[in-house]
Amino acid sequence: MLAAYAVRADADEPLAALAVGEMDPPNVPEGWVSVQVRAAALNLHDVWSLRGVGLPADRLPMILGCDAAGVADDGREVIVHAVINSPDFVGSDTTYDPERSLLSERYPGTFATQVRVPASNLIDKPPELSFAEAACLPTAWLTAYRMLFRQSGARPGDTVLIQGAGGGVATALIVLARQAGMRVWVTSRDETRGARAVSLGAHRAFPAGARLPERVDAVMESVGAATWSHSINVLRPGGTLVICGATSGDNPPKAELTKIYFKPLRVIGSTMGTRDELISLTHMLVATGVRPHIDRVLPLADAAAGFAAMIASDHFGKIVLEP
């Protein structure tokens, strides 16, 4: 089958670590199922894999790709939940499984004609969503859904600040928060990105670190060190900071413990989401008409062009591959 995969790690030239070619389809263990991929979406996670981050050499070659929608063996149109749990995990929140992995970390990813996953990782693709649209959801959009609607405590009418208007999670946060009736503010180091955030639905965009007109109810944080003190300072007493990443580093100059307990604040870590939350996200898109913005759709054979665009930040919206 055709696949796009990492053959080695190259921290400086990630594109040089990518291969696109024929591979044998992986065998399908007991309890797993095979899905014909109809669309798969790129995430920065895939570029990090090419750089060797999170993908040790002894797992190579590894088919990349976390996000996919396709058709199961029984003809059912499905979206693939990208979080693979340990078979021994029995808790109620699957994001708490310390042995969890994303597709393309331990098990072959979605940039291929077929992908195989545990049967419980499939959810129905609503007919209202195209395969390309559906393929955009399982990573960035699911992360955003859980941050806003399970972790933040924010209700319609509350003000949510999204730090760093550029990335895939931030984009999904803007669209989902606006749709859910929140007041949406973003920060960005780049005026163009701020304007783009407003075009997506943000009520206002501010420069990074700006003094805000008033305190906010919740902050969505994925930048980390560079924005941490700002996030802490702009929250109202009793407000919530939800953090899903730390792209600028995870050790800010000040940890701000005093403000956390004295104001007081809540800091909630969040990573990906559960199968139930992915289902709710698809229902929300159907109920509202909201759709992920797709920058371009490429054949899987041209995966390198998609990676090149993502590495150059030469895109606005998701890049989708079709096998």
Interacting positions 157-186 with its own copies (CB under 8 A): 157-159, 176, 178-184
Size of site (CB under 8 A) for its own copies? 71
- The window from 20-28, 59-67, 274-282, 308-316 that contacts its own copies (CB under 8 A) reads 274-282
Q: How far is the CB of 255 from its own copies (least distance, A)?
A: 4
207 binds its own copies (CB under 8 A): no
First CA to last CA distance, the chain:
10
DSSP H or E run through 102: strand 101-102
Which C-beta is closer to its own copies: that of 192 or that of 199?
199
- Residue ranges in 71-110 that form contacts with its own copies under rule CB under 8 A: 90-93, 95-98
- Residue ranges in 218-257 that form contacts with its own copies under rule CB under 8 A: 224-225, 228, 236-238, 243-246, 250-252, 254-257
126 binds its own copies (CB under 8 A): no
Report how far apart, in Å, the C-alpha atoms of 59 and of each of 10, 68, 82, 108 are.
15, 21, 18, 10
Give me 122's structure tokens: 């499939």
DSSP H or E run through 255: none
Distance CA 280, CA 76 (A): 19
Other Cβ atoms less than 10 A from the Cβ of 147: the count is: 29
Other Cβ atoms less than 10 A from the Cβ of 258: the count is: 10
To the nearest 10°, the Cα dihedral for 224, 226, 228, 231? Answer: -110
271 binds its own copies (CB under 8 A): yes
Among 260, 297, 308, 309, binds its own copies (CB under 8 A): 260
Among 1, 15, 284, 305, binds its own copies (CB under 8 A): 284
